[in-house]
């Protein structure tokens, strides 16, 4: 008894007194980000498989530059260095995935620095940025180096060589092809019958099941990590199962594009499988910081993103609208949050 | 299965589930705080040097919301002085030196419920100093006298025990199911309610079965609820059982309901039928910092040190000693704290159970909003509270927070949301009180 007494006396001085709850969920910011990185791996492999070893260089450039610029920015700004939360790594990967595989590495590097230094840290760092850093950086790159940012190469499965450069055959992405076809047919001054037949065939080909399969697995031109819907979907499901992301945003986002394509007489399957819709819906629009926090707000956000994609693709100047639709909606997030405060229990 | 919106699923850790309730050793001395309940402190009716017997009244409630306090042992009153209670309010405590005889004050008589009018039942409960044994410690007799314009139709016995580790209510439901039902009938009679429900979570199927097997009254029912924290919170329980929402800043009686803890029902039964005041209660002693976890029937006023020693003492690397459960309990700075009426458990957690506490920026993941059982926005409340932007934060109804800690539990950025919300809630309540005056 005496010994025990001494023991508890000794312990007593060390007792921690703090507020409840005394147990916490194991989730940390770092673990959440790690899960996102894991979910992004399949899409990375598909990029490497379809566009060659150069994809790795692009990804590495973006990730390394992101981490370094986060570290330097936080030191300059005199805040705690939180590179270990892995959010910069996620931004780097996401940026790489929405760049063309043939992008010059220095452009990718500038993109990463822009994303982290300008879009994220100058706004206060993780949690305070208004725009999705990767998407905002991509938008800036498209405006600054339009040629390098729209030069897409055709996929060439499995040809992995360390010396692989930008020697791929450039090709239009499916969305560019369709946009051009519609534009050509809409212009009544074009009278070349052969070309008109070709353009009409392009549009009719959309019903082709083989094309759908190619679009789904990723055999198409496009940005590095956005072509394989299969890989993105598996990553997205991983995030949904682990409850990292809410189903509301991706489901309403993709669903809206599907429904409006149908309503406006375009091929709905083609429209959800082409472009960066899956990458945007599962990984960009669900970005915690730049999307609404309320359940209803997330529904509104997803629907509006889908609406803007349809508007930009069908009536706008760009063949693809995912990037801009999300950026536009990012601006509205504070307002959406304010108007969708949940009804408190008992009111 | 019936439940409410939100909530979390912390690991249940009910290690003492199969340990029958043991009677703890009679303490040599006790420290009985005169303020163990919500409301006003009881006034001492004894003075230093007096001899008291077990069950003798030592503090009397003078205010409306207050409760009597009784001596839990027989002995001499050593002193009445300021001391600390586990709820961190320092107030007057009666120190009693026991003589080991444990002689009863007055007689224990048994009676039948039918004999008493609702008035008499309330008086007996008041005399016995019964408060809610769930933790908040609201005087039970106050709960049982609703204003005449409020019709109470239902009494719910809260046996959900959603806090991890705690098993005292579970053991009571298994071992004292008859007493709980008798208590329920008494409470029903006191408030004139027609229906009685015993709400049990689905992780205690044997308790639900046990009570079902002894049910006699046709209007009484065992309701099995989904296991989820905070299922046992009054408002959430009423929502889950009856699908009624208690209006903001109102009481369960505004929804026609009285909710009482399973332990309280037993105490009510003992007080009314056997004239036994509330001088002991069942507590769960558990946690990785304790050699043998137990469910103990402990006299009020026994020090934590004595209770812990009876369970084999603390291990070396104990990090925290908590009164209550890990979600809402209060961590203690000393072991010389007495067990009070609201002590549902004593937990000792070791260093390896210490959670990651490094705070990061809010990443707006929205998990706190998803789990908040009151449908609040803890992230916004926390933000405005930490920025001292009180007027902006007031719009998010901080007064409705029940401080269950679900938001802080799930937060990946480890922001102390409960603390922040408690601050802004206090400010809002202050403002509301000013407006009323």
Is residue B192 pLDDT above 50, yes or no?
A: yes
Is residue B411 pLDDT above 90, yes or no?
A: yes
How confident is the model at residue A347, as a pLDDT? 83
Closest to B386 measured CA to CA, from B415, B357, B353, B356? B415
| Highest averaged pLDDT of the listed ranges A87-96, B145-154, B162-171, B313-322 | A87-96
CB contact under 8 A, A32 and B322: no
State the average pLDDT over residues B206-216.
90
Percent of chain A with pLDDT over 90: 58
β-partners of residue B290 are: B314
User: What pLDDT digit, counting tens, does each position of B306-364 carry?
Assistant: 999 988 888 888 889 999 999 999 998 888 889 998 899 999 998 888 887 888 899 99
Mean pLDDT of chain B: 89
How confident is the model at residue B268, as a pLDDT? 92
Looking at beta carbons, which residues of chain B come within 8 Å of A11? 314, 316, 318
How confident is the model at residue A137, as a pLDDT? 96
Banded model confidence at residue A158, pLDDT cuts 50, 70, 90 = low
CB contact under 8 A, B363 and A289: yes
State the average pLDDT over residues A255-272.
91
Distance (Å, whole) CA A325 – CA A336: 15
Chain centroid, CA A127 distance in Å: 17
Q: Report which secondary-structure segment, H or E, holds B428.
A: helix B417-436
Is residue B92 pLDDT above 80, yes or no?
A: yes
How confident is the model at residue A112, as a pLDDT? 96
Distance (Å, whole) CA B116 – CA B271: 12
- Which own/partner contact pairs does B290-293 have at CB distance under 8 Å and 24+ positions apart? B290/B314, B290/B315, B290/B348, B291/B315, B293/B15, B293/B16, B293/B19
Is residue A166 pLDDT above 80, yes or no?
A: no
DSSP string, B66-106: ---EE-SS-EEEEEEEEEE-TTS-EEEEEEEEE-S--PBSS
How confident is the model at residue B101, as a pLDDT? 85
Is residue A162 pLDDT above 80, yes or no?
A: no
Banded model confidence at residue A160, pLDDT cuts 50, 70, 90 = very low
Of the partner residues A4, A15, A341, the one whose CB lies closest to the CB of residue B396: A341
Instruction: Tell me the nearest-neighbour CA distance from B411 into chain A, angstroms.
Output: 7
Q: What is the CA radius of gyration of chain B?
A: 21
Instruction: Tell me the nearest-neighbour CA distance from A102 into chain B, angstroms.
Output: 33
Looking at beta carbons, which residues of chain A come within 8 Å of B399? none
Distance (Å, whole) CA A231 – CA A222: 14
Distance (Å, whole) CA B331 – CA A20: 8
Q: Pseudo-torsion of CA B270, B271, B275, B281, nearest 10°?
A: 60
Which H, E and C letters describe chain B, residue by residue?
A: CECCCCCECCCCCCCCCCCCEEECCCCCEEEEECCCCCCCCCEECCCCCCEECECCEEEECCCCCCCCEECCCCEEEEEEEEEECCCCCEEEEEEEEECCCCCECCCCCCCCHHHCCHHHHHHHHHHCCCECCCCCCCEHHHHCCCCCCCCCCEEEEEECCCCCCCCHHHHHHHHCHHHHHHHHHHHHHHHCCCEEEEEEECCCHHHHHHHHHHCCCCCEEEEEECCCECCCCHHHHHHHHHCCCCCCCCCHHHHCEEEEEHHHHHHHHHHHHHCCCCCEEEEEEECCCECCCEEEEEECCCEHHHHHHHCCCECCCEEEEEECCCCCCEEECCCCCECCCCCCEEEEEEHHHCCCCCCCCCCCCCHHHHHCCCCCCHHHHHHHHHCCCHHHHHCCCHHHCCCCCHHHHHCCCCCCHHHHHHHHHHHHHHHHHHHHC
Banded model confidence at residue A4, pLDDT cuts 50, 70, 90 = very low
Window from A47-51, A137-141, A188-192, B90-94 with minimum mean pLDDT: A188-192
Of the partner residues A127, A295, A345, the one whose CB lies closest to the CB of residue B364: A127
State the average pLDDT over residues B220-230.
90
Q: Strand, helix or coil at A123?
A: helix
Q: Does B245 touch chain A (CB under 8 A)?
A: yes
How confident is the model at residue A9, as a pLDDT? 58
Distance (Å, whole) CA A92 – CA A63: 4
Is residue A204 pLDDT above 80, yes or no?
A: no
Opening angle at CA A267, ends A266 and A268, nearest 5: 105
Q: Strand, helix or coil at A185?
A: helix
User: What pLDDT digit, counting tens, does each position of B22-60 carry?
Assistant: 999 999 999 999 888 888 888 889 888 888 898 899 988
Distance (Å, whole) CA A109 – CA A58: 9
User: What pLDDT digit, counting tens, does each position of B244-263 carry?
Assistant: 999 988 888 889 999 999 99
Of the partner residues A11, A27, A346, the one whose CB lies closest to the CB of residue B248: A346
| Highest averaged pLDDT of the listed ranges A178-192, A243-257, B318-332 | A243-257
Instruction: At B244, list the tokens.
Output: 């009624």
User: What pLDDT digit, counting tens, does each position of A218-243 carry?
Assistant: 888 888 888 899 999 999 999 999 99
Banded model confidence at residue A168, pLDDT cuts 50, 70, 90 = low
Of the partner residues B327, B330, B412, the one whose CB lies closest to the CB of residue A28: B412
Window from A181-185, B228-232, B236-240 with minimum mean pLDDT: A181-185
User: What pLDDT digit, counting tens, does each position of B386-404 carry?
Assistant: 999 999 999 999 999 999 9
Is residue A331 pLDDT above 90, yes or no?
A: yes
Looking at beta carbons, which residues of chain A come within 8 Å of B247? 346-347
Instruction: At A208, list the tokens.
Output: 């082709």
How confident is the model at residue A212, as a pLDDT? 82
Instruction: At B35, list the tokens.
Output: 């303020």
Give the mutation candidate from A9, A23, A239 for the B interface (greatest B CB count, under 10 A).
Answer: A23
């Amino acid at each position: 008894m005496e010994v025990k007494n001494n023991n508890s006396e000794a312990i007593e001085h060390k007792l921690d007194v703090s507020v409840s709850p005394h147990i916490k969920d194991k989730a940390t910011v770092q673990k959440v980000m790690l899960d996102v990185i894991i979910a992004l791996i399949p899409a990375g492999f598909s990029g490497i498989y379809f566009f060659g070893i150069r994809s790795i260089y692009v990804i590495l450039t973006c990730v390394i530059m992101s981490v370094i610029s986060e570290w330097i920015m936080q030191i300059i700004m005199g805040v705690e260095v939180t590179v270990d939360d892995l959010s910069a790594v996620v931004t780097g990967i996401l940026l790489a995935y929405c760049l063309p595989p043939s992008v010059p590495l220095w452009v990718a590097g500038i993109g990463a620095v822009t994303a982290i230094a300008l879009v994220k840290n100058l706004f206060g760092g993780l949690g305070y940025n208004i725009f999705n850093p990767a998407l905002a950086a991509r938008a800036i790159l498209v405006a600054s180096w339009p040629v390098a940012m729209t030069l897409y190469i055709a996929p060439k499965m499995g040809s992995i060589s360390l010396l692989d450069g930008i020697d791929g055959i450039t090709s239009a992405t499916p969305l560019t092809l369709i946009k051009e076809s519609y534009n050509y047919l809409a212009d009544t001054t074009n009278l070349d019958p052969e070309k008109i037949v070709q353009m009409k065939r392009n549009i009719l080909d959309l019903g082709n099941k083989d094309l759908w399969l190619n679009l789904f697995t990723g055999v198409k031109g496009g940005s590095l990590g956005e072509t394989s819907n299969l890989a993105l979907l598996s990553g997205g499901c991983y995030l949904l199962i682990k409850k990292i992301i809410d189903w509301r945003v991706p489901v309403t986002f993709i669903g809206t594009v599907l429904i409006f394509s149908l309503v406006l007489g375009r091929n709905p399957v083609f429209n959800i499988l082409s472009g960066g819709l899956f990458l945007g819906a599962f990984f960009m629009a669900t970005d915690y910081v730049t999307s609404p926090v309320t359940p209803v707000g997330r529904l509104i956000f997803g629907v509006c993103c889908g609406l803007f994609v349809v508007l930009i693709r069908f009536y706008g100047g760009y063949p693809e609208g995912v990037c801009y639709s999300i950026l536009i909606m990012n601006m509205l997030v504070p307002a959406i949050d304010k108007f969708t405060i949940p009804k408190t229990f008992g009111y | 299965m019936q439940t409410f919106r939100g909530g979390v699923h912390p690991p249940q850790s009910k290690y003492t589930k199969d340990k029958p309730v043991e009677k703890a050793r009679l303490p040599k001395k006790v420290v009985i705080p005169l303020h163990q309940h919500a409301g006003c402190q009881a006034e001492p009716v004894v003075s230093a040097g007096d001899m008291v017997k077990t069950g003798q009244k030592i503090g009397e409630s003078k205010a409306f919301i207050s409760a009597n306090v009784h001596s839990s042992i027989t002995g001499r009153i050593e002193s009445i002085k300021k001391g600390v209670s586990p709820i961190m309010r320092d107030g007057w405590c009666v120190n009693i030196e026991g003589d080991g005889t444990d002689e009863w004050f007055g007689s224990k008589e048994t009676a039948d419920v039918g004999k008493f009018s609702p008035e008499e039942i309330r008086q007996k409960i008041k005399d016995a100093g019964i408060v809610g044994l769930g933790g908040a410690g609201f005087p039970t007799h106050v709960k049982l006298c609703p204003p005449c314009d409020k019709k109470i139709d239902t009494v719910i016995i809260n046996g959900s025990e959603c806090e991890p580790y705690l098993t005292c209510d579970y053991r009571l439901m298994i071992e004292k199911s008859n007493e709980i039902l008798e208590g329920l009938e008494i409470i029903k009679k006191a408030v004139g309610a027609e229906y009685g429900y015993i709400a049990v979570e689905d992780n205690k199927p044997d308790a639900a079965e046990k009570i079902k097997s002894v049910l006699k009254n046709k209007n009484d029912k065992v309701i099995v609820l989904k296991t989820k924290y905070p299922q046992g919170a009054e408002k959430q329980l009423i929502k889950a059982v009856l699908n009624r929402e208690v209006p903001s800043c109102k009481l369960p009686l505004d929804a026609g309901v009285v909710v009482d803890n399973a332990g309280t029902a037993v105490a009510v039964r003992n007080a009314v039928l056997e004239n036994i005041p509330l001088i002991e209660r069942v507590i769960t002693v558990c946690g990785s910092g304790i050699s043998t976890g137990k469910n103990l029937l402990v006299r009020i006023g026994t020090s934590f040190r004595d209770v812990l020693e009876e369970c084999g003492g603390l291990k070396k690397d104990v990090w925290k000693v908590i009164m209550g459960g890990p979600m809402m309990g209060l961590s203690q700075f000393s072991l010389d704290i007495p067990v009070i009426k609201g002590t549902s458990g004593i937990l000792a957690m070791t260093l390896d159970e210490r959670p990651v506490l490094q705070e990061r920026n809010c990443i707006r993941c929205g998990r706190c909003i998803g789990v908040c059982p009151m449908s609040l926005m803890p992230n916004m409340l926390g933000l405005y509270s930490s920025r001292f932007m009180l007027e902006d934060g007031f719009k998010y109804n901080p007064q409705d927070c029940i401080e269950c800690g679900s938001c802080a539990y799930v937060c990946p950025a480890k922001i102390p949301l409960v603390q922040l919300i408690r601050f802004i809630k206090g400010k809002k309540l202050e403002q509301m009180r000013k407006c009323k005056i």
